[in-house]
Chains A and B, each alone.
Chain A
Amino acid sequence: MLTIKDLKVEIENKEILRGINLEVKPGEVHAIMGPNGSGKSTLANVIAGREEYEVTGGTVTFEGEDLLELEVDERAREGIFMAFQYPIEIPGVSNSNFLKQTLNSIRRERGEEELDAMEMLQLLREKIKMVGMDENMLRRSLNEGFSGGEKKRNEILQMAVLEPKLGILDETDSGLDIDALKIVAEGVNQLRSKDRSFIIVTHYQRLLNYIVPDYVHVLYRGRIVKSGDKNLALKLEEKGYDWIKEAADAMA
């Protein structure tokens, strides 16, 4: 589904990613972990299409297509969704109106028929239950005045409505209490399927108790320095990142 080869990325002439290789197959869940400043969020944002990063080398292909050639909105319509670390508040745009516009825009792209108001309402009601939100949230302005936990849940709601092929969670768990974390994880778990893949960027192992990954990769200084299964995450939780840093620094 997603193939990243020797990806090198700079921001303001500072090299952040120094050759990333990653293969994500349909249905897989990959966790990207690493200390602060290791490049985790950069990787997520480059896949999603944020423009301020400069790709200086390597390739990213999504279902055989050169992803780096696509604009952020084209990527979204191709089926990539990133849950933001800091979702933006947008006054004046109601949550439901926003979801209608985006879903219909994506459906048009896929050659599917647009949903009418009734079908849309039904769909939104079903999805909003899934993330344990109140229906009032649909009428409110997008993220405006939402608590941190509500914002993150709203991201998962959007993901549930838009049904992407690849979901990316950019530190969705940071700042969440355990209850909110469980709800977010439960939402993601319900979306897991044999065709849908996830990349979960996180600093903490805690989220991975609830969303069990197939693979765990550790990013350090712009490279994946270690990969493993969920046990790698547990080891990181127990021992911290220092042993990885030492090993990687010794190699370099």
Chain B
Amino acid sequence: MAIVAEDKFADIKDWFTTQFEVQESSLNGQKGRPLYAFRRSAIERLPELDFPTRRDEDWKYTSVTRLLKPKYVAPKPVQLNAAQLQPYLYEGLDVNLLVFVNGVYDESLSQVQELAGEAILTTVEEAMDKDVYKAEVEKYYSQWVEHSNDPFLNLNAAFAHKGIFIHVPKNTALERPIHLLHLSVPQEEPQLISPQSLIIAEQGSEATVLESFHTLGAEAGEPCLTNAVNRIIVEPNARVRHFRIQWKDEESFLINNTVVDQQRDSTYTSFSADLGGRLVRNNLSALLKDEHTMTNMHAVFLGKGDQHIDTQTFIDHAFPHAESNELVKGILTEKARGVFNGKILVRQDAQKINAFQQNSTLVLSDKAQMDTKPQLEIFADDVRCSHGATIGQLDEDAVFYLRSRGLTDQQARSLLQHAFIREVIDFIPIEQVRQKVDVMVEEKFAAQWGKKK
């Protein structure tokens, strides 16, 4: 007798399918383009895919039930003016700016200058239309649409408005970072926002991508779900730096899936900061496909109130002579919860690996909670792997010491928290970004103390 388990998310899948048809019916004459076939197959596979539950080991501490409760609709375009963008720009940093409002690309607010060499910055849609990129784009796109087990990947593919395609040709260095600025403006109905990017850095090339996420006028509408996907290919000897700065309102939901392929001698360095969000889930994977790769993942998260921030990393060492470094630090207060799961797989052939991982969290109140799980699976015998996880409170002796020099209790605590986080922030190699993140961290603490007072 077959046992059919009831899918508690069946209704929400139906809802998304219906929304997809609504979206499709509004398209005029675009349905023939290759991307739209992918979008349709993405949504058609949705019913077969299971949304994770807490019975799944990787989702033990994070439930998507709350996140899937709202009846999301396709995002509404909203016209913003340049002044409204200002607070979210990195002053003094010369970038190629791409602005997305409620997930919809806004050309008038974006500032794209000529790129070095033959580099391409366009939409996934247009890239698929061009013979040169078609095969490559379709290859990666079909991986996430047709072979994924993760319904969030399919939702992203089905609903992404304009996925971004960045192609950096051989031996070309993109001088200016590409800033993908995602602003959401909540509406009466909850919106599903689906940022998407496919980044290919060819042999010997260099690129810097900065994603940032903020909310305007959170109180005026329903919280959004931002369901982002990044697919990054770092070819031999290429270097990609990837920043993700997220300070959305504390009611919004965020899912972020980033998968990085690294080829021989390549370097991928990421920094991510999560300050906002009601429920945040980050999945960051580096799949190392050849020797001599270098992977750096740095992350900070700051939670207060009812925030829940979950960071999962996966580093797949399949080849020898590689190095990976992970440093993840967080501060939780009030009733906030944090999760870190750092998986490192060192396959049998991956000898002479250096893998380092550290997660440290300050838990500042009785009701805040942190779950951390370093997960090392090592099948090679000549490797150096170290990992550590600490969960603690502020050192009261240090607080006393600072106070004995004239700082108030709040100043002392704030200084120590900031110092704790700064160890990670110091890894940001771009000064303007480092400074802005530093100020954001300080402001988040100031808001925290302000509330307490």
Which A residues lie at the B interface, using CB under 8 A? 48-51, 71-73, 75-77, 81-82, 84, 87-88, 90-93, 98, 101-102, 105-106, 109, 158, 162
Q: How far is the CA of A73 from the CA of B403 in the complex (A)?
A: 5
Q: How far is the CA of A135 from the CA of B446 in the complex (A)?
A: 32
Q: How far is the CA of A168 from the CA of B397 in the complex (A)?
A: 18
Assuming the contacts A76-B405, A77-B406, A101-B411, asked whether A90 and B400 have C-beta atoms less than 8 A apart, the reply is no
B415 lies within 8 A of A72 (CB): no
Assuming the contacts A93-B416, A105-B411, asked whether A88 and B405 have C-beta atoms less than 8 A apart, the reply is no
| Residue B15 CB within 8 A of the other chain | no
Shortest CB-to-CB span from B361 to chain A, Å, is 15
Considering the complex, give the chain B residue whose CB is closest to the CB of A72: B403
A92 lies within 8 A of B397 (CB): no
Considering the complex, give the chain B residue whose CB is closest to the CB of A107: B406
**0/1 string, B362-403, CB within 8 A of A gives 1:** 000000000000000000000000000000000101101111
A92 lies within 8 A of B398 (CB): no
Shortest CB-to-CB span from B21 to chain A, Å, is 53
**0/1 string, B302-330, CB within 8 A of A gives 1:** 00000000000000000000000000000
A109 lies within 8 A of B406 (CB): yes
B406 lies within 8 A of A73 (CB): yes
Shortest CB-to-CB span from A89 to chain B, Å, is 8
A90 lies within 8 A of B406 (CB): no
B407 lies within 8 A of A92 (CB): no
Q: How far is the CA of A50 from the CA of B401 in the complex (A)?
A: 10
Residues of A within 8 A of B397 (CB): 88
A91 lies within 8 A of B401 (CB): no
The stretch among B83-91, B208-216, B417-425 that forms the contact with chain A is: B417-425
Q: How far is the CA of A77 from the CA of B408 in the complex (A)?
A: 10
Residues of A within 8 A of B44 (CB): none
Q: What are the 10 closest A-B residue pairs judged by CB atoms, nearest first?
A: A92-B419, A76-B406, A73-B403, A88-B401, A102-B405, A106-B406, A93-B419, A72-B403, A77-B406, A102-B406
Assuming the contacts A50-B400, A88-B398, A92-B422, asked whether A162 and B416 have C-beta atoms less than 8 A apart, the reply is no
Shortest CB-to-CB span from B263 to chain A, Å, is 36
A90 lies within 8 A of B407 (CB): no
Shortest CB-to-CB span from A94 to chain B, Å, is 9
A72 lies within 8 A of B416 (CB): no
A162 lies within 8 A of B422 (CB): no
Q: How far is the CA of A155 from the CA of B407 in the complex (A)?
A: 16
B401 lies within 8 A of A73 (CB): no
Shortest CB-to-CB span from B375 to chain A, Å, is 27
| Residue B409 CB within 8 A of the other chain | yes
A101 lies within 8 A of B407 (CB): yes
Residues of A within 8 A of B406 (CB): 73, 76-77, 102, 105-106, 109, 162
**4 more CB-based (< 8 A) A-B contacts, given A76-B405, A105-B408:** A48-B404, A88-B401, A105-B411, A158-B405
Q: How far is the CA of A88 from the CA of B409 in the complex (A)?
A: 16
Residues of B within 8 A of A92 (CB): 418-420, 422-423
Residues of B within 8 A of A109 (CB): 406
B419 lies within 8 A of A72 (CB): no
Shortest CB-to-CB span from A21 to chain B, Å, is 25
Q: How far is the CA of A102 from the CA of B402 in the complex (A)?
A: 8
A73 lies within 8 A of B415 (CB): no
Assuming the contacts A91-B419, A92-B422, asked whether A49 and B401 have C-beta atoms less than 8 A apart, the reply is no
Residues of B within 8 A of A50 (CB): 400
A72 lies within 8 A of B423 (CB): no
| Residue contacts A-B, CB under 8 angstroms, 21 given | A73-B408, A73-B412, A75-B404, A76-B406, A82-B404, A88-B401, A90-B416, A91-B423, A92-B420, A92-B423, A93-B415, A93-B416, A98-B415, A101-B407, A101-B411, A101-B415, A102-B405, A105-B407, A105-B408, A105-B411, A162-B406
**0/1 string, B431-453, CB within 8 A of A gives 1:** 00000000000000000000000
Most-contacted residue by chain B among A73, A91, A158 (CB, 10 A): A73
Residues of A within 8 A of B402 (CB): 90, 98, 102
Residues of B within 8 A of A73 (CB): 403-404, 406-409, 412
Residues of B within 8 A of A162 (CB): 405-406
Shortest CB-to-CB span from B96 to chain A, Å, is 33
Q: How far is the CA of A101 from the CA of B406 in the complex (A)?
A: 9
Residues of B within 8 A of A84 (CB): 401, 404
Shortest CB-to-CB span from A106 to chain B, Å, is 5
Shortest CB-to-CB span from A38 to chain B, Å, is 23
Shortest CB-to-CB span from B28 to chain A, Å, is 56
Q: How far is the CA of A84 from the CA of B404 in the complex (A)?
A: 10
Q: How far is the CA of A191 from the CA of B142 in the complex (A)?
A: 74
Shortest CB-to-CB span from B423 to chain A, Å, is 6
Most-contacted residue by chain A among B398, B405, B407, B409 (CB, 10 A): B405
Shortest CB-to-CB span from B213 to chain A, Å, is 26
Residues of A within 8 A of B412 (CB): 73
Shortest CB-to-CB span from A29 to chain B, Å, is 21
Considering the complex, give the chain B residue whose CB is closest to the CB of A80: B404
Shortest CB-to-CB span from B173 to chain A, Å, is 31
B401 lies within 8 A of A87 (CB): yes
Shortest CB-to-CB span from A87 to chain B, Å, is 7
Q: How far is the CA of A63 from the CA of B395 in the complex (A)?
A: 32
Q: How far is the CA of A160 from the CA of B416 in the complex (A)?
A: 23
Shortest CB-to-CB span from A100 to chain B, Å, is 11
Shortest CB-to-CB span from B434 to chain A, Å, is 14
Considering the complex, give the chain B residue whose CB is closest to the CB of A103: B406
Q: How far is the CA of A178 from the CA of B301 in the complex (A)?
A: 48
Most-contacted residue by chain A among B404, B406, B411, B415 (CB, 10 A): B406
Considering the complex, give the chain A residue whose CB is closest to the CB of B415: A93
Shortest CB-to-CB span from A18 to chain B, Å, is 25
Residues of A within 8 A of B398 (CB): 88, 90
Residues of B within 8 A of A101 (CB): 407, 411, 415
